[in-house]
Amino acid sequence: MRGRMFPRMLVLVALAAGVATSSQLSAQSKPNIIVIMADDVGWSNPSCYHSGIMSSKTPHIDRIAREGIRFTDHYAQPSCTAGRSAFLTGQFPIRTGMHTVGLPGDDKRLSNLDPTVAQLLKKLGYSTGQFGKNHLGDSNEALPTRHGFDEYWGWLYHLNAMEYASNPDFPKGEAGAAFKPRNIVDCKVDENGNQVVRDDGPCPPQRMKTLDDEVTTRTLDFIERKAKDDQPFFCWMCPARAHIYTYFSDRYKKLLGTDSMGMQEVVMKELDDNVGKVLEKLDALGIADNTIVVFTSDNGPEIMTWPDGGMTPFHGEKGTTWEGGFRVPMVVRWPARVPAGQVSNGVTDHMDFLPTLVAAAGGPDDLREELKSGYEGYRVHLDGYNQLDLMCGKGASNRKEVVYYEGTTLQAVRYKDWKAHFIVQNEGWFGPKERLGAPLLFNLRRDPFERAADESGHYIEFLGKNMWAFGPAKRIVQEHLATFKEFPSRSTSAGSNAEEIKEDVTSDQMGQ
């Protein structure tokens, strides 16, 4: 009897060992994920986008593009809070209520009902960390460690808000207390699941000189610690560059005026140096091959503050729904799966990151459908698309449309090559929003910089011959509005003008 059982026990032990090994390989095969989201960097600021026509040089960002894929038609949102929430939730900011720039003391924060990419990756076995700017609320309930991150260090507003209190006109005492920005916070989730928050001090201009050194140091420390564990990690690195106002350390200040570099070029040099440190750390740890590295920006550049602001060849800037406000650089490297040297003209969006990264981590391929029916306890309408096949060179973009909001106002729609503007901001972010008598129409493959309406003597003829393009625009607006019936917005002012836009695209003056 014992003689017959012994071989069986060996088989069972072997099977158990095989299961354990398979599980370990499965965990090890999940890619690490690092998303570097710069602040207010324009489409043409990285040198892999401007190809030498500008003087900035970003060899490390260029390396990501060279060893992976560069996207020409990637869309963010027109401002910081909106862009970051779109990335984090995969939903339109109008859905989550995170559509306008948060100020100190606001009660703005993400709802616990809206899953973040960090929360969904944690359920797939990931360690999660964020370092740098957050801008998604400043209460303890708004902190990243309440929304899927194991640890967070950084500031909770636009960079220049951190120096408000040092302004001699800022209210003193109790009068200013409600409007004073919180200091930099350092928070973690302890072994019991409790949030522990530490005040890491103010961030006056002197500290801003080397603030991104602190971001990078903490990012590298997180990567090194997690690389030693048998667990994949997700790291969201959010540098201060290139948001106003810029204060340089002596190391970078001395570069001004050299090699045709002005303020913005030196900003990009510092930003790129820190990107390079991340890439070097991955190489040193031997984990670069199975680590997804993304570089992008939260929104378009703030040209109104140039040369302290960024630059783009596209019409408009941050805070507008012209292409210059929405279109941003985006490069991705993943040596294990993404072929090197790709350039994609497929339309992609910050909202696509959540389903794409979850799929790359072994989650559902069709997370949009899964979340509609209650995936992992969350039931929401996901606006992002899984772009994993596009990223890996195996298919086209799953996105055909872009809906452009500024705050709560729907102002434009893109369908494939065609873009219709219903409301324009010809005087920038702080200028008036002009509702047009008839929408403007552009073909973004033939006129990507949206110049024809102002500069072509034949624009009216072009418009008249192509008014059919408002048909798809109408359908996109209708389908977009329909999703709010089952999944209402968490914003009280959601879709404030969307019904009016739907009327515009069916009006007699458009020939529909």
Q: State pLDDT tens for residues 481-490.
A: 999 999 999 8
Q: State pLDDT tens for residues 462-473.
A: 999 999 999 999
Q: With bands split at pLDDT 50, 70 and 90, how would you rate the model's confidence at 18? A: very low
Are the CB atoms for 390 and 397 separated by under 8 Å? yes
Q: Between residues 2 and 247, which one has the greater pLDDT? A: 247
Q: State pLDDT tens for residues 194-240.
A: 999 999 999 999 999 999 999 999 999 999 999 999 899 999 999 99
222 is written with which tokens?
Answer: 């997180």
pTM summary value: 0.92
What's the CA gap between 444 and 15, in Å, rounded?
Answer: 58
DSSP codes joined into one string, 26-70: HHHHSPEEEEEEESS--TTSSHHHHTTSSS---HHHHHHHHTSEE
Q: State pLDDT tens for residues 72-97.
A: 999 999 999 999 999 999 999 999 99
Q: What is the pLDDT of residue 493?
A: 52
Are the CB atoms for 462 and 456 separated by under 8 Å? yes
**Going from the N-terminus, what domains does the chain have, and what CATH number goes with each?**
29-399 (3.40.720.10), 402-510 (3.30.1120)
305 is written with which tokens?
Answer: 């503050």
- DSSP symbol at 159: G
Please give the backbone phi and psi of residue 235, each rounded to the nearest 5 degrees, phi first. Answer: -125, 125
187 forms beta bridges with: 152, 197
Phi-psi category of residue 39: left, alpha or beta, with phi > 0 → left and psi -120 to 50 → alpha:
beta
Q: What is the pLDDT of residue 98?
A: 87
- Identity of the amino acid at 70: R
Are the CB atoms for 318 and 431 separated by under 8 Å? no
Please give the backbone phi and psi of residue 339, each rounded to the nearest 5 degrees, phi first. Answer: -60, 140
